Amino acid sequence: MRLLSVTSAILAFIILVTEAKLAPTIRLNNGYEMPVIGLGTFESTSGDAERAVKDAIDAGYRHIDTAFLYGNEVEVGNAIRSKIEDGVIKREDIFVTTKLWSTFHEPDQVEKAFQRSFDNLNLDYIDLYLMHYPVAYRRVLQNIRLPSDDVNAFYVFPVDKNGNTLTEDVDYVDTWRAMEKLIETGQVRSIGISNFNSEQTERILSMATIKPVTNQVECHPNLNQRKLINFNAARNMTITAYSPLGRPHTPNGQKLALSEPKVLELAQKYRKTPAQIILRYTVQNGAIVIPKSTNKNRIQENFNIFDFELSDSDMQIMHGLNNNYRLIDFATDKDNKYYPFNIEF
């Protein structure tokens, strides 16, 4: 009797583990599949990123978003390799994104910057490499102990005495050509853009040999990006929604959708949390979401959005929250000719 219950407990456990639900995927314009939810890792450092990525994989996430800028590629790579070594996932089960920072836009810098990210992550290949932002920044030495060909020797946000960004006159189209060459190495499967507007996207598409698979932009109920999502869909490009929770920990973010009375009402109606309503909304709106958390409970909470659906009328209510409020506007380089946020979308 006792033996039986132990056996069935083990059996139930095995079924639970093997049936851990994964997220749906979107087919990219190059045929690869990208899970519609990934873990964001901006501001996750000092061990938090490694722990969070492991918790996320256990919760069912198969997509992780990092960047050279975030300083945590090594931690992210360690977490993924450890889950591969433990047999929890295989490399091809997980989609890993990292990004080219703006100080490395000159074509001859692109490969070097990529190699550093590739070495940091230490995985067999990277799924997606994004141009983080269309404006090129100057390389200003900050760490004189590092050789000047080391990517870590420079300020990531170089500024003058007045706090204005020191930019460099590099056309993102030339940067894109250098990124296309990375595909030939087999070290990266897909390339894409981030923080590009529709005109800049069109300009890339008009010259590209390899199309961007996605544009990663700020997107949440208060900046729902309907126009950019439709624009991209018409060109077989996806939108990845960053800051999908509206950065509730920041003073500006506190006022956004997570605390909207309408969102709280819908959370009661669907017996979901406000964060789940918001993330579900953006996925139904057609974007891929990458909420950041280093908290195990919230990592699980954010993933648990595939067992319900917002009705058409509730989607209309959510659409009504849009007020084009941008949290991340890169204001210190708004005079640059490649500044992306001077036009409607």
Ligand X SMILES: *[C@@H]1O[C@H](CO)[C@@H](O)[C@H](O)[C@H]1NC(C)=O
Ligand Y SMILES: NC(=O)c1ccc[n+]([C@@H]2O[C@H](COP(=O)([O-])OP(=O)(O)OC[C@H]3O[C@@H](n4cnc5c(N)ncnc54)[C@H](OP(=O)(O)O)[C@@H]3O)[C@@H](O)[C@H]2O)c1
Residue 167 · residue 99 · CB < 8 Å: no
One-letter identity of residue 252: N
CB 29 to ligand X: min, Å: 4
137 near ligand Y, rule: CB under 6 A? no
How many Å apart are CA 225 and CA 155, to the nearest integer?
31
Residue nearest to ligand X (CB): 236
* Phi, psi angle pair for 254, to nearest 5°: -55, -30
The stretch among 21-29, 111-119, 153-161, 288-296 that binds ligand Y (CB under 6 A) is 288-296
Establish whether 70 is a catalytic residue.
yes
Shortest distance, CB of residue 294 to ligand Y, whole angstroms?
Answer: 4
The residue from 29, 115, 164, 304 that contacts ligand X (CB under 6 A) is 29
Taking CA atoms, 268 is separated from 252, 262, 274, in Å, by: 25, 10, 9
290 binds ligand Y (CB under 6 A): yes
Mapped to the 3 state alphabet, what secondary structure does 236-302 carry?
CCEEEEECCCCCCCCCCHHHCHHHCHHHHHHHHHHCCCHHHHHHHHHHHCCCEECCECCCHHHHHHH
Using DSSP's 3-state secondary structure scheme, residue 330 falls into coil
264 touches ligand Y (CB under 6 A): no
C-beta of 18: minimal distance to ligand Y in Å?
Answer: 27
Residue 246 interacts with ligand Y (CB under 6 A): yes or no: yes
Stretch that binds ligand Y, among 24-32, 80-88, 118-126, 243-251 (CB under 6 A): 243-251
- Confirm or reject binding of residue 102 to ligand Y (CB under 6 A): no
Which of 32, 61, 70, 338 does the annotation list as catalytic?
Answer: 70
Size of the site for ligand X (CB under 6 A): 4
By beta-carbon proximity to ligand Y, the closer residue of 212 and 291 is 291
CB of 144 to ligand Y, least distance (A): 29
Q: Which of 158, 292, 336, 338 binds ligand Y (CB under 6 A)?
A: 292
Alpha helices (H) in the chain, listed in sequence order: 2-18, 48-59, 73-85, 107-121, 172-184, 198-207, 226-233, 261-270, 274-284, 296-303, 312-319
In the region spanning residues 197 to 256, those forming contacts with ligand X, defined by CB under 6 A, are 236
User: Residue 341 corresponds to which tokens in the numbers above?
Assistant: 């946020």
Instruction: Provide the token pair at 168.
Output: 């460099």
Would you put residue 329 in left (φ > 0), alpha (ψ -120 to 50) or beta? alpha
65 forms part of the interface with ligand Y (CB under 6 A): yes
Rule CB under 6 A: say whether 185 interacts with ligand X. Answer: no
Residues in contact with ligand Y by the rule CB under 6 A = 40-42, 65, 132, 194-195, 216, 242-249, 275, 290-295, 298, 301-302, 328
Residues tagged active-site: 70
